[in-house]
A and B are shown apart, each in its own frame.
Chain A
Amino acid sequence: MTFVGSLGIILLAVITVVLAIPLGTYMYKVFSGQRTIFEGIYNPVERLLYKLMGVNAETEMTWYIYTKKFLTLNLVMFFVGYLVLRLMGHLPLNPDHIPSMNWNLAFNTAMSFVTNTNWQSYMGEQAMSYLGQMVFVQFLQFTSIATGVVMAIAFVRSFVTRTGTLGNFWFDFVRIITRVYLPLSILFGILFLALGSPQTLHGAAVVHTLQGAKQTISRGPVASLEAIKQLGNNGGGFFNANSAHPFEGPNAFSDVLGILGMSLIPTALVVTFGQFIKNKKQARVLYIFLMATLVVGAFVVYAFEAAGNPVLAHVLGIHGPNWEGKEVRFGPALSSYFVSATTAYTTGAVNTMHDSLTPLAGLVPLGFMMLNMIFGSGGAGLLNILMFMIITVFLSGLMVGRTPEFLGKKIQAKEIKLATVAMLVHPFLILVFTAIAVVSKAGLAGIYNPGLHGFTEVLYAYTSGAANNGSAFAGLGANSPFYNVTIGIDIMIGRYVSIIAMMAIAGSLATKKTVPASVGTLATDTYSFGFVFMAVVLIVGALTFFPAVAIGPIAEQLKMWATGR
């Protein structure tokens, strides 16, 4: 570990927060229907979009209608996406003659992109035509994050609504794209272009190298994908190596941009939440605890990666940091922050091969996805934070014998039941699917690394799916009917069950009267509440996942130390 490396990690966290605060305020204006900058351009464009979509963007919706629109739109996008993947081999914009996908790969991929997961069983440069990279990948990278963010906004409105309604789905969906994701993506896309990401419709370049060998260099519309991939917490790369590929991450500057891209909007949403409930301190308390967790995670990765692999030192005399699966231009420190941020913010882009991380460094991304609320992705992350806040309020209420209230709303049996469903579906999916995979022939067939590490590969895959993250211990041979179908289902349930349960809570809260705060009210914007909140998260996480991580990364780390001595 070096001073400069550590400084870089801390500065990234500081810059994220500094930029996120004004963005969060701006997003509050977007969702509360206030005038924003460039109103004269946005307003007519949006009215045209509503007209083309055939929607009324003014009627207020109950939680039920709002969720119905969300689910219907997701279903339609899934089918259209699936069709594109099944047919793209016969469609235009395919200079490298890439074939269509088979049914199980197309199912997995369509489910993965419609849910903002971006788990990729396919190799980008070999299995996705340019048309697919555009009208499938980039299209869904915008809409999947937009549908996620609007659900969180609808939930937040349940605290402040006077009519019992949660806003208009179409209004929110259009405005988050036109006023946030699209302009930011154009800005980031141009920056990525200037820094070295290609943006072309020409097919792969075939060259004769300095030694005269033939090399086929895949390229395509990369820069535009890169922008929304990061900003939208998608993470699905153009190339197999994702952000480690020099065209996706040409230098440290572009890597920093990628990190800021994935961090900005989920961090800003915490501020937006604070603005909605007219309580800035709430956002501050959450910031401190969540950002601290993220930074500690980055330093844990950094420490173990900088220490290197004792086995290689012992057997071969190769000393120094673990460079297997890392790129020189990024180096261990920046790579470590990326590893933490991509899982904390549930993005799933990688600039380092997670499968080759030292075991305890690999536990950090795995653990962040298991907790699934260290900011999380835009929208889904805030919903998970709110879900754990409700659980914490309830537990604290039990401990002191008070009727739990959360932001002026009574938390009763119905809300707790639904929050528990939303909380438990995540570990249930991970542990049950992992158990099935490691006792079935088809599951074991995909494992690449032997021993304990192979178990972690499977555990990581279902955790990534359930958390809608999409990063992988990529040695796992996941492109088989078994993994494509099971991970596809894992992704689907992980996304929709918790969102529906949370929206049902929102519907219930929205119709409740606001109880004025009294001496007996548990304040949620204090540091002591923040502390209890994090403790609840960590205890719940440890109780559910410790046995699994003990036989995975923890045991492997002990084995590595023992071998390398």
Chain B
Amino acid sequence: MRSVWQSIRTTIVFMVLCGLLYPLFLVLIGQTVFPFQANGELVKGPNGAVVGSRLIAQPVTQPGLFQPRPSAVNYAANGSGGSNLGPTNPALIKEVRGNILAFEKLNPTVSVSQIGPTEVESSASGLDPDITVRDAMLQIPGVAKATGLSTHTLKKLVLGHVRGRFLGIWGEPHVNVMDLNLAVLKLTHK
């Protein structure tokens, strides 16, 4: 019985230490030292209202903005996830085919042979905030046509938003879609 009593007390002590004091201490640090990150990197649009998080992809269905990668959960930022489709599942072919059609709709000048797997295969989180540099370049003609910006301007914009690998070694070079789209909107709202 002594063990049980000791265990109950230990449970309470560590629940308070590791379950309350520790996370609340980090809340304190987060809210005072890193308030932008600690609240989810929320960003404002051209008219000053919060339009989303720069770490969370959002659906783009109309021309004029760069598209993020396809999402198996329809960009539900309160219900993340991948498709979990296996490599030999016929549903995977159907899904990718649908994604190709959706991509072609906004980028009519692009042929299938140019499309890379990143743009038509669903991300792991369904909220992947980034696209590859190649996928951004592929979308330039479509965005240029809808916004009236020159392809040259857009190319410069994309290249200016490329983030390289961590220390040049880990990860893939990528472009944050929210940053890029906000930059596009800034140019078109002038």
Contacts and interface: CB of A to CB of B under 8 A. Distances in A.
A143 interface: yes
Contacts of B83: 324-325, 353, 356
Contacts, number: 376
Nearest to B29: A190
A300 interface: no
Contacts of A53: 6, 9-10, 13
Contacts of A190: 26, 29
Contact of A200 (B30, B97, B115, B122): B30
Interface in B1-51: 3-11, 13-15, 17-20, 22-23, 25-27, 29-31, 33-34, 37-42, 45, 49-51
Nearest to A133: B23
Interface stretch (A379-387, A389-397, A449-457): A449-457
Contacts of A173: 10
A252 B80 contact: no
B124 interface: yes
A253 B6 contact: no
A275 interface: no
A356 B86 contact: yes
B89 A449 contact: yes
Contacts of A560: 87-88
Contacts of A334: 170-171
A221 B19 contact: no
A417 interface: no
A277 interface: no
Chain B CB within 10 Å — which of A219, A239, A475 has the most? A219
A252 B125 contact: no
Interface of A: 4, 7-8, 11-12, 49, 52-55, 68-69, 72-73, 75-77, 80, 96, 123, 125-126, 134-136, 138-139, 141-143, 170, 173, 177, 182, 185-186, 189-190, 193-202, 204-205, 207-211, 213, 215-219, 221, 223-225, 228, 239-241, 244-247, 250-253, 255-256, 308-309, 311-312, 315-331, 333-334, 350-353, 355-359, 448-453, 456, 473-475, 556, 559-560, 563
Contacts of A315: 93
B55 interface: yes
B38 A182 contact: no
Contacts of B115: 318
A500 to B, nearest CB: 16
Interface string B111-122: 011011110111
The 4 closest A-B pairs by CB, nearest first: A252-B171, A139-B19, A331-B172, A199-B30
B37 A210 contact: no
B85 interface: yes
Contacts of A7: 169
B26 A76 contact: no
Given A207-B42, A241-B124, A325 B113 contact: no
